[in-house]
Amino acid sequence: MKKISLLGATGSIGTQTLDIIKEHPDQFELVAMSVGKNIAKAREIAEEFKPLVLSVQEKEDAEKLMSVLTSKTKVYWGEEGIVEAACQHDADIVVNAVLGSVGLYPTLQAIEAGKTIAIANKETLVTAGHIVMDAARKHGVSLLPVDSEHSAIFQALQGERKENIEKLIITASGGSFRDRTREELVGVTVEEALNHPNWSMGAKITIDSASMMNKGLEVIEAHWLFDIEYDKIDVVLHRESIIHSMVQYHDTSVIAQLGTPDMRTAIQYALTYPTRLPRTQAKKLDLVEIGKLHFEKMNYHRFRCLAFAFDAGKVGGSMPTVLNAANEAAVAAFLNGQISFLQIEDLIEKAMQEHELIQLPELDAIRQIDRETRLNVHRFINE
């Protein structure tokens, strides 16, 4: 029986993690969970799974839940609460499915507590990859990828030697606007941007997919997870999302992982690694039915955010923190109807241009740069 702490239980990845726990009730048990503001759903989950610990974002919500919950769940709130959930002493594995760089601190605390981390929360690795990876090495903790591309690469690396890798090839579906020119992006609506062709995901990552920032964040995520230089990471457009990513070795062999676009398979692999469990409720891949797979070269002028991410990653230091925080702030502003879709790129570019780089920033510096960058983005919007 593996005991799971699930951060971000009410989200898209969170809910699909609960599906996997339900698919294998004899294998997994939910012992702790955290949510943001969706209290109604938090209550439902807590009553169904009866975790020992539940954390919410706001104190008032914690108090409300304490008065209505019938299970023996202890309720916490705020940053301390999420850390309480992340470090719950019974938990064997923490699934980090929180959205954004708020996931950083609880991840570091869970690593210190010696928990295995299944990481979906890519912003944590983008904003402070060097700190997270150092902490994991120091405490002998594994970081298991949940993101489908990284799960694919991780699977393609099993039993292989790092020195034989020629490059990682990350596939990109292209998001909701893949067939539009830059001119055709002027005036696109939030609704259109949220309409992803292949995957059903949370709002922020769906916008990131449309802007191609998601792929940019994934490039940085891959750099940290697999300790690979940026020159050895390629991105190709693959509209079917069947090949989830590949590793090319120096003997020219390419090992890919394929499957239907279903995040639950990647989530389950992180939970069962190094073994596998059958998936009873998933659609199996039928390549004959699909018939054809397509691949196209990425256009870095069309998808500027991907170019920004490579730049930020190569510059290193505090630049990826700025890239991530500016993107989080800009996407939130787009979702709130404050800015246009193309302004997301302009705001990120401006935040990166203004930033005075710090090499090897410590945790406090990262948290401060994250806050300042968000303020800067709001200042640019109001200028």
| Residues at the interface with ligand NDP (CB under 6 A) | 8-14, 35-38, 57, 82, 97-100, 102, 120-123, 147, 199, 201-202, 204-205, 263
- Residue 227 falls in which region: left (phi positive, over 0), alpha (psi -120 to 50) or beta: left
How is residue 186 written in tokens?
A: 């002027």
**Of the two residues 123 and 149, which places its CB atom closer to Mg ion in the complex?**
149
User: What is the length of the chain?
Assistant: 383
Q: Which does 215 bind (CB under 5 to 8 A by kind): ligand NDP, Mg ion, none?
A: none
Least distance from ligand NDP to the Cβ atom of residue 26, Å: 26
Q: How far is the CB of 263 from Mg ion (least distance, A)?
A: 9
> How buried is 161 (Cβ within 10 angstroms: 0-12 exposed, 13-18 middle, 19+ buried)?
exposed
Choose from Mg ion, ligand NDP, none: what does 120 bind? Cβ within 5-8 Å by kind.
ligand NDP
Q: Is 202 annotated as a binding residue?
A: yes
Q: Which is nearer to ligand NDP, 102 or 347 (CB)?
A: 102
Q: Closest Cα to residue 117, out of 134, 98, 142?
A: 142
Cβ-based nearer residue to ligand NDP, 39 or 185: 39
Residue with the closest Cβ to Mg ion? 147
Separation between Cα atoms, residue 46 and residue 53, nearest integer Å: 9
Dihedrals φ, ψ of 343, to 5°? Answer: -65, -25
Q: Is 336 annotated as a binding residue?
A: no
CB of 43 to Mg ion, least distance (A): 30
Alpha helices in 4-121 (DSSP H): 12-23, 39-49, 59-68, 78-86, 104-112
Least distance in angstroms from the C-beta of 250 to ligand NDP: 29
Q: Which does 320 bind (CB under 5 to 8 A by kind): Mg ion, ligand NDP, none?
A: none
| 34 annotated ligand binder | no
Tokens of 291: 């018939």
12 touches, from Mg ion, ligand NDP, none (C-beta below 5 to 8 Å by class): ligand NDP
Please identify, using beta-carbon distances, which residue of 35 and 350 lies nearer to ligand NDP. 35
Report d(CA 163, CA 250) in Å as an integer.
9
Annotated binding-site residue? 5: no
* Interface residues toward Mg ion, by CB under 5 A: 147-149
> Is residue 214 marked as binding?
yes
Phi, psi of 232 (to 5 degrees): -105, 20
Closest C-alpha among 309, 305, 332 to residue 320: 309
From 353, 346, 345, 342, select the one nearest 319 (Cα to Cα).
353
- Looking at the Cβ atoms of 113 and 256, the one nearer to Mg ion is 256
Indicate the pairing of strand 243-249 with strand 165-172: antiparallel
Residue whose CB is less far from ligand NDP, 99 or 323: 99
Q: Which residues participate in the annotated binding site?
A: 10-13, 36-38, 121-123, 147-149, 173, 196, 202, 209, 214-215, 218
Q: Which residues participate in the annotated binding site for 1-deoxy-D-xylulose 5-phosphate?
A: 122, 148-149, 173, 196, 209, 214-215, 218
